[in-house]
Chains A and B, each alone.
Chain A
Amino acid sequence: MRRHRTAYLLAAPSVVLLAGVFAGAMLTLLEYSFHQYLPDGTDIAHTTATWQTFLTGGYHWQIVGETVVLGLITTVAAAVVGYPTAYALHRVRQSRWRYVGLFIIFAPLLTSVVSRTYGWELILGDSGVLNSLLEPVGLGPVELLYERSSVVIALVHILLPFMVFPITQSLGQLDPAFGEAAGDLGAGAFRRFVKVTLPLTTPGLIGGAQLVFALSISSFATPSLLGGGRVNVLATEIYDNVNNVDWPLAAVSSYALLALAVVALGVFGWLQRRTGRAEQGGVTAAGAASSGARGWSVWLAIVYVYVLLPLVIIVINSFSSVSYGTWPPPGLSAKWYANLFEQEGLGAATLLSLEVAIAATILAMVIGTAVAVSLVRHRMPGRGPLQSFVLSPTVVPKVAFGFAGFIYLHRLNLFGGVAGLVVTHTVIVLPFVVIVVTAALMRADATLDAAAKDLGAAPLRAFRLATLPQIRPALIAAALFAFVVSFDEVDMTVFLLSPDQNTLPVWMFVYMQKFQDPTLAALSTLLIVAALAIAATVAVLLARSGVFSSLTTSPEEPVAKVKEGSSA
C-alpha cells in the first residue's frame, strides 16, 4: 500500500468531494423516491407508491416518450447538419480557414444557453425574422414557436459543436492513404466516401450522437422557454413537480431520466463496439489533400449563418426601439441598455455567478489535475473504478442532480449559501477538467518528469518544472471551459438558489419567463462581447505559447534543424 500512497493521496480530494456531494445527493434523491405525499400533505416514507404511480400512469409514459422522441429527432438533425459540416471543414485546405470555421462552430458555446434560446425566440416568433421573410412571398405566417420544432431547431443549434467535434477528430485521424488506396483500386469519389471514409468515421459519428442525445434528453432551459408549456419532457416535468411540491414524484422522474441516460449510454456504447474497427494507428493526417469543391463552401456558409444568426439577431434587437420582438425593429434606441442597469438584483446575480464560477474553477482545477496525475502516472489498484467514479457526474442529467442537491443541501443545512453552489458546480465541471488534463498528460512525456527527479527535483517540484510547462495550454483550456460551464449553468442551479439568491443565467431564465422585451438582448450582447474578448485573449495567449504552430505544423515539415557540425 505504501507504494501507492501518493496515487491515493492525489485522488483523495476528488473522491471526497464526489462521495460527499454527488453520491450523497444522488442517494438522498433515491431515498426520496420511496416517499409519497398524500393530497392532504402527509409524508409517507418507505413506500413504492410513487414509483407505482409513475410506472402505471399513462401520462408519465407519454412524457418519457416525448423525451425520447425529442432526443432522437435532435440527434438525427444534428447528425444531418453536423457530419457534412465536419467533412466540409476537414476538406478546407488552408489550416487557417479550418480554424476560423471551427471557431465559428464553437463560438456559441461561449454564450449562455438562455441567450441562444432567446435568439431563437426572436427568429421563430410570430412577428420574428423568419415570418418577416416568409410572409411577403405568401408562405407565412408559420407558427413554430411553442412547438416541438422550435425546441429542436434551438437544441440542434446549441448542441451542434458536440456533434461536429468528435467527427472532426475521427476525420483527422483518418489516414488519407486509405482514400488514395481506394481511389487507386478504382473507387470513384462517392464510392470512396461510402466504402472508406464513412465506415472509418462512424465511431466519431456515434460518439457525437451519444453526446447530443444525452444532452438533449436532459436539457431543461430550452424546452421550458421555447416549448411554452406544450413540450413536456422529463426535465421540465421534474421542475414542475418541484414547483407543485411533489418531491417524491420529482425524485422518481429524476431517476427515470437518469435511467434513460444510462440506457442510452449502453446502447451507444454497444453501437460503438459493433461498428468500431480496429483502432487506427495514430497517424494524424495533415488535412485532406483533395480539392475543396465549391459545393462544400456553400454548405459551410449556410451553416455559419445558422450558427451565427441568433447571436447577430440578438445584437441588432438590443438596439430596438420597441419592447416586442418584431422584425425588422421599427427604430433604434439604447434604452434597453439603460433599462438593464436599473434592474434590481442583476449586479448581485452577476457577482454571485462570478464568485461561484471562479471558486468552482479553481477548486476543480486543483483537485482535477491531482486526480488526473494519479490516473495517468500511477498504476495503483482500483484505477479503473476511480476513473469511472470521477467521470460519473457526466452521465447524470443536471436537472436530476440539481434537484438531488436541493434536497441534500437542505438536509445538510447548507442550502442558500455560496458553499453549496460552489461544491455542486465543482462536481459538474470536475469531469471536464479531468478529461482535458488526462488527455494532455497522456501526450506529455513522463520521462521529463523522471529526468527532473533524477537531476535533484523533489516530486512536486519536478511536476512544476517538467510536466506543467508541457500541459499548460490544456490547463488554460480546461480552466476556461470549467469557468464557462459554471458561469452559464442554468439547469442545475435553478434548484439550488434560495429566494434571495440569483445567478446571472437564472436571472435571465426567470426574466425570459416573465418578459419579452429586449433588455435580455442588451444583456446578452454584453455577455457575447465579453466572451469574445476572453476567447480572443486566450487565443492570443495560446498562440504565443506556440500551441497553434505545433497544431498547424504537419509532421513532414521539419522543425528548424541545424547541420551537425564537424565537432562530433
Chain B
Amino acid sequence: MTGAGSSSGPDAELRGIRKVYDNGARGVEQVDFTVAKGEFFSMLGPSGCGKSTTLRILAGLEEPTSGEVLIRGEPMRGRPAHRRPTNMVFQRLALFPHLTVADNIAFGPRLRRRPARQVAEIVGSMLDLVDLAGYGKRYPAQLSGGQQQRVAIARALANEPAVLLLDEPLGALDLRLRVQMQQALKRIQHDSGTTFVYVTHDQVEALTMSDRMAVMNEGRIEQIGPPAELYRSPATTFTATFLGDTNLFEGTYEGGLLESEGIGVKVTGPGRAVSVRPEHVAVGRGLTCANRYHGRLEDVIFQGASTRYHVRLASGVLVISERREEAGSTLTVGDEVETGWDVDAGVVLNH
C-alpha cells in the first residue's frame, strides 16, 4: 500500500512535542522521534509517562502546546483527527455497538465517499486480513475479546492510513490471547505493509514486536533503539530497571571502581551507576570473575528453564542471579556462597 507523498522520507516525525494541560497535569515534556516507512515502532513506559498523549497528538485528537507533527513530510498543525492520514486502534476498542462488524469496517471508507462496490471489496479484504471472513453480519457484542480486537484493527486499516496508531490494544486480553494477538498483529503489519506506532506498558510486548522502540518516563524519551540494543546497552538507570530485571549499583566512581553501598564494583569506565543483568551474574564457590563477593544464599526460585538465586552480601546488598545450567543444583538456602560477574557484564550509566 503506497500512499501519496515522498517515498523516501519517514512516515511520521515528531519535533519538540510538548503538551501542558490547563489543570497543571503533566502531559508531555519533550518528545522527538521519527518512524520509517513500514516500521513497527513502540512507545513503552509506565502509566502517566505521556505515551498515550503522544499517540493522541499524532492522531490529532489532541493539539500539542508546542512542537510539530509531520506525516509523510506534511506538517499536521491545526489539522483535526478526521483530516489526518492516521487511524487509531483504541485501548477500549470503541467499536460502534449499534453497527455490524461489516458496517464498523465500512465506516471510514463510506465517510470518504467510496463507491458501494469498492466499500464491499475493502470490507471483504479487511475481514480476510484479520481472519474474520464470514463474521461481517455479527454485532461486536456477539464476538469474543480477541475477535473484537481484530475488528478494531480491520476498521482502522480500512482507511489505508499512512500510520496506524495502537493504544495498548491488547491490555484487556488474558495472557494466552495476548500472545496469540501479538503474533497476529505482526503478521497483519507484515501483510499490509503499514507503519505501526504502538503504545504499551508491557515490556515483553514491546520487546517481541517492535523494530524500534522508545522508552518513556515522566513526559520524556529516555532512549530509542532496537529492542536488543535497549536491553543490552541501556543508557539510563530508568531504561535499565524498566526493561527486564537488573542489579543496579549506584555510587561514586574512583579509579576504575564504583563505590556503592559498602561494596566496590570494578567497572569499564567512569559513571554514576552500573547495571548488571541477573543472567550475567554467577553464583557458586571458587569463582574466577573480576567482581567477587561473599554472601548467604537467601532464596532459590525454580522457574523452569532457569533458576534464580538471591544472595545477601555482608553489606546488606541483595544480588540476583539467574542461571540456566544445573551447576547450582547443589546449592541450598542458607549456604555461604560466592557471587560475581565480569567487568564487561556491567553497563556503566551516567544518567
Q: C-beta contact mask, B141-184 vs A, less than 8 Å → 1, else 0? A: 11111110000000110010000000000000000010011001
Q: Pick from B80-88, B115-123, B292-300, B310-318 the stretch touching chain A.
A: B80-88
A3 to B23, CA, bound (A): 15
A326 → chain B, closest Cβ, in Å?
Answer: 56
Whether the Cβ atoms of A455 and B159 lie closer than 8 Å is yes
Residue B1, interface by CB 8 Å: no
Residue A96, interface by CB 8 Å: no
Whether the Cβ atoms of B180 and A456 lie closer than 8 Å is no
Whether the Cβ atoms of B94 and A456 lie closer than 8 Å is no
A567 to B143, CA, bound (A): 13
Whether the Cβ atoms of A568 and B146 lie closer than 8 Å is yes
Provided the pairs A454-B82, A456-B82, A564-B177 are in contact, do residues A3 and B96 lie with their beta carbons within 8 angstroms? no
Q: Using C-beta atoms within 8 Å of the partner chain, give the interface range for chain B.
A: 35 or more
A469 to B98, CA, bound (A): 7
Provided the pairs A561-B144, A562-B147 are in contact, do residues A461 and B111 lie with their beta carbons within 8 angstroms? yes
A450 to B56, CA, bound (A): 10
Q: Using C-beta atoms within 8 Å of the partner chain, give the interface range for chain A.
A: 20 to 34
A462 to B108, CA, bound (A): 11
B119 → chain A, closest Cβ, in Å?
Answer: 13
The one of B91, B111, B141, B184 that contacts A457, using a Cβ cutoff of 8 Å: B111
Whether the Cβ atoms of A447 and B90 lie closer than 8 Å is yes
Q: C-beta contact mask, B37-69 vs A, less than 8 Å → 1, else 0? A: 000000000000000000000011101000000
A565 to B23, CA, bound (A): 46
Q: C-beta contact mask, A445-489 vs B, less than 8 Å → 1, else 0? A: 101101111111111011001100110000000000000000000
Whether the Cβ atoms of B61 and A454 lie closer than 8 Å is yes
A3 to B78, CA, bound (A): 11
A470 to B95, CA, bound (A): 12
Provided the pairs A559-B141, A562-B142 are in contact, do residues A466 and B96 lie with their beta carbons within 8 angstroms? yes
Whether the Cβ atoms of A562 and B144 lie closer than 8 Å is yes
Chain A residues with Cβ below 8 Å from B325 are none
The one of B61, B107, B155 that contacts A450, using a Cβ cutoff of 8 Å: B61
| Smallest CB gap from B158: residue in A | A455
A529 → chain B, closest Cβ, in Å?
Answer: 34
A343 → chain B, closest Cβ, in Å?
Answer: 47
Whether the Cβ atoms of A453 and B98 lie closer than 8 Å is no
Residue B131, interface by CB 8 Å: yes
Whether the Cβ atoms of A567 and B159 lie closer than 8 Å is no
Whether the Cβ atoms of A448 and B144 lie closer than 8 Å is no
B77 → chain A, closest Cβ, in Å?
Answer: 13
| Smallest CB gap from A469: residue in B | B98
Whether the Cβ atoms of A451 and B184 lie closer than 8 Å is no
Whether the Cβ atoms of A456 and B147 lie closer than 8 Å is no
Residue A379, interface by CB 8 Å: yes
Residue A46, interface by CB 8 Å: no
Residue A417, interface by CB 8 Å: no
The one of B87, B90, B144 that contacts A563, using a Cβ cutoff of 8 Å: B144
Provided the pairs A453-B81, A559-B141 are in contact, do residues A445 and B111 lie with their beta carbons within 8 angstroms? no
Whether the Cβ atoms of B81 and A454 lie closer than 8 Å is yes
| Residues of chain B in range 90-144 having any CB-CB distance to chain A below 8 Å | 90-92, 94-98, 107-108, 111-112, 131-132, 138, 141-144
A453 to B159, CA, bound (A): 12
Report which residue of B61, B91, B96 has the largest number of chain A beta carbons within 10 angstroms of its beta carbon: B96
Q: C-beta contact mask, B192-208 vs A, less than 8 Å → 1, else 0? A: 00000000000000000
Whether the Cβ atoms of A456 and B92 lie closer than 8 Å is no
Provided the pairs A469-B98, A562-B144 are in contact, do residues A454 and B131 lie with their beta carbons within 8 angstroms? no
| Residues of chain A in range 405-446 having any CB-CB distance to chain B below 8 Å | 445
Chain A residues with Cβ below 8 Å from B112 are 456
Chain B residues with Cβ below 8 Å from A450 are 61, 81, 88, 90, 94
A466 to B81, CA, bound (A): 15
Residue B22, interface by CB 8 Å: yes
